[in-house]
Protein backbone atom coordinates (compact mmCIF):
# COMPACT_ATOMS: atom_id res chain seq x y z
CA UNK A 1 0.00 0.00 0.00
CA UNK A 2 1.38 3.37 -1.00
CA UNK A 3 -1.03 5.34 1.16
CA UNK A 4 -4.58 6.61 1.34
CA UNK A 5 -5.75 7.98 -1.96
CA UNK A 6 -9.25 9.23 -1.06
CA UNK A 7 -10.86 9.50 2.34
CA UNK A 8 -14.37 10.51 3.35
CA UNK A 9 -15.54 9.72 6.84
CA UNK A 10 -15.18 5.99 7.42
CA UNK A 11 -14.73 5.26 3.72
CA UNK A 12 -11.23 5.34 2.29
CA UNK A 13 -9.63 4.18 -0.91
CA UNK A 14 -6.06 3.00 -0.57
CA UNK A 15 -3.53 3.48 -3.32
CA UNK A 16 -2.08 0.01 -3.62
CA UNK A 17 -0.66 -2.06 -6.40
CA UNK A 18 -0.26 -5.82 -6.60
CA UNK A 19 3.27 -7.11 -7.12
CA UNK A 20 2.75 -10.87 -7.11
CA UNK A 21 4.22 -13.03 -9.92
CA UNK A 22 1.07 -13.14 -12.13
CA UNK A 23 0.68 -9.35 -11.95
CA UNK A 24 4.35 -8.85 -12.78
CA UNK A 25 4.04 -11.23 -15.73
CA UNK A 26 1.03 -9.27 -17.01
CA UNK A 27 2.97 -6.05 -16.47
CA UNK A 28 5.84 -7.40 -18.58
CA UNK A 29 3.47 -8.46 -21.38
CA UNK A 30 1.63 -5.13 -21.27
CA UNK A 31 4.74 -2.97 -21.34
CA UNK A 32 6.37 -5.12 -24.03
CA UNK A 33 3.26 -4.86 -26.20
CA UNK A 34 3.06 -1.10 -25.73
CA UNK A 35 6.79 -0.78 -26.44
CA UNK A 36 6.40 -2.67 -29.72
CA UNK A 37 3.39 -0.58 -30.73
CA UNK A 38 5.27 2.62 -29.89
CA UNK A 39 8.33 1.55 -31.86
CA UNK A 40 6.22 0.67 -34.89
CA UNK A 41 4.25 3.91 -34.62
CA UNK A 42 7.38 6.07 -34.62
CA UNK A 43 8.19 4.94 -38.15
CA UNK A 44 4.57 4.89 -39.29
CA UNK A 45 3.54 8.28 -37.91
CA UNK A 46 6.71 10.34 -38.37
CA UNK A 47 5.23 12.61 -41.05
CA UNK A 48 1.72 12.98 -39.65
CA UNK A 49 0.58 16.36 -38.37
CA UNK A 50 -0.67 15.01 -35.04
CA UNK A 51 2.51 13.06 -34.23
CA UNK A 52 2.90 14.46 -30.71
CA UNK A 53 -0.82 14.21 -29.91
CA UNK A 54 -0.79 10.56 -30.97
CA UNK A 55 2.09 9.71 -28.67
CA UNK A 56 0.55 11.61 -25.75
CA UNK A 57 -2.60 9.51 -26.12
CA UNK A 58 -0.56 6.33 -26.57
CA UNK A 59 1.45 7.12 -23.41
CA UNK A 60 -1.75 7.73 -21.46
CA UNK A 61 -3.12 4.42 -22.78
CA UNK A 62 0.05 2.64 -21.64
CA UNK A 63 -0.22 4.20 -18.18
CA UNK A 64 -3.89 3.20 -17.95
CA UNK A 65 -3.01 -0.37 -18.90
CA UNK A 66 -0.30 -0.48 -16.22
CA UNK A 67 -2.79 0.81 -13.62
CA UNK A 68 -5.35 -1.73 -14.80
CA UNK A 69 -2.91 -4.64 -14.57
CA UNK A 70 -1.30 -3.66 -11.26
CA UNK A 71 -4.30 -2.25 -9.37
CA UNK A 72 -4.96 -3.63 -5.93
CA UNK A 73 -8.59 -2.57 -5.56
CA UNK A 74 -11.75 -2.14 -7.59
CA UNK A 75 -11.57 1.66 -7.75
CA UNK A 76 -8.14 1.67 -9.41
CA UNK A 77 -9.24 -1.14 -11.72
CA UNK A 78 -12.28 0.90 -12.76
CA UNK A 79 -10.18 4.02 -13.36
CA UNK A 80 -7.63 2.10 -15.43
CA UNK A 81 -10.41 0.45 -17.43
CA UNK A 82 -12.22 3.71 -18.18
CA UNK A 83 -9.08 5.63 -19.13
CA UNK A 84 -7.92 2.77 -21.37
CA UNK A 85 -11.35 2.70 -23.05
CA UNK A 86 -11.32 6.46 -23.60
CA UNK A 87 -7.79 6.32 -25.01
CA UNK A 88 -8.85 3.49 -27.32
CA UNK A 89 -11.58 5.74 -28.68
CA UNK A 90 -9.11 8.60 -29.18
CA UNK A 91 -6.53 6.38 -30.88
CA UNK A 92 -9.06 4.78 -33.23
CA UNK A 93 -10.45 8.19 -34.20
CA UNK A 94 -6.99 9.74 -34.57
CA UNK A 95 -7.37 10.38 -38.30
CA UNK A 96 -10.40 12.64 -37.94
CA UNK A 97 -10.65 13.39 -41.64
CA UNK A 98 -11.37 9.75 -42.48
CA UNK A 99 -15.05 8.76 -42.14
CA UNK A 100 -14.17 5.12 -41.41
CA UNK A 101 -12.08 6.14 -38.40
CA UNK A 102 -14.93 8.15 -36.91
CA UNK A 103 -17.52 5.41 -37.43
CA UNK A 104 -15.21 2.70 -36.08
CA UNK A 105 -14.37 4.79 -33.03
CA UNK A 106 -18.06 5.36 -32.36
CA UNK A 107 -18.73 1.63 -32.70
CA UNK A 108 -15.93 0.81 -30.24
CA UNK A 109 -17.18 3.44 -27.81
CA UNK A 110 -20.74 2.07 -27.88
CA UNK A 111 -19.48 -1.51 -27.53
CA UNK A 112 -17.33 -0.48 -24.58
CA UNK A 113 -20.27 1.30 -22.91
CA UNK A 114 -22.53 -1.71 -23.49
CA UNK A 115 -19.91 -3.99 -21.98
CA UNK A 116 -19.60 -1.71 -18.96
CA UNK A 117 -23.36 -1.74 -18.41
CA UNK A 118 -23.72 -5.39 -17.99
pTM of the entire structure?
A: 0.84
Instruction: Give 44-70 as a 3 state SS string.
Output: HHCCCCCHHHHHHHHHHHHHHHHHHHH
Q: Which residue would you say has higher pLDDT here, 94 or 3?
A: 94
Which residues 6+ apart lie within 8 Å of 12 measured at CB? 4, 5, 6
- Per the prediction, the chain carries an average pLDDT of 89
Q: Are 2 and 15 in contact (CB under 8 A)?
A: yes
Q: What is the pLDDT of residue 118?
A: 62
Query: How do residues 19-41 score in pLDDT, each as one tens digit?
Result: 999 999 999 999 999 999 999 99
pLDDT of residue 2: 73
Q: CB atoms < 10 A from the CB of 84, how many?
A: 20
| pLDDT tens-place string over residues 54-101 | 999 999 999 999 999 999 988 889 999 999 999 998 998 888 888 888
Amino acid sequence: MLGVWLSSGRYQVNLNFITDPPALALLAVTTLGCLLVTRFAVNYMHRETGFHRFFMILSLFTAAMVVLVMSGNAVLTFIGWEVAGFCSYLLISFFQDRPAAASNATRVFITNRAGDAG
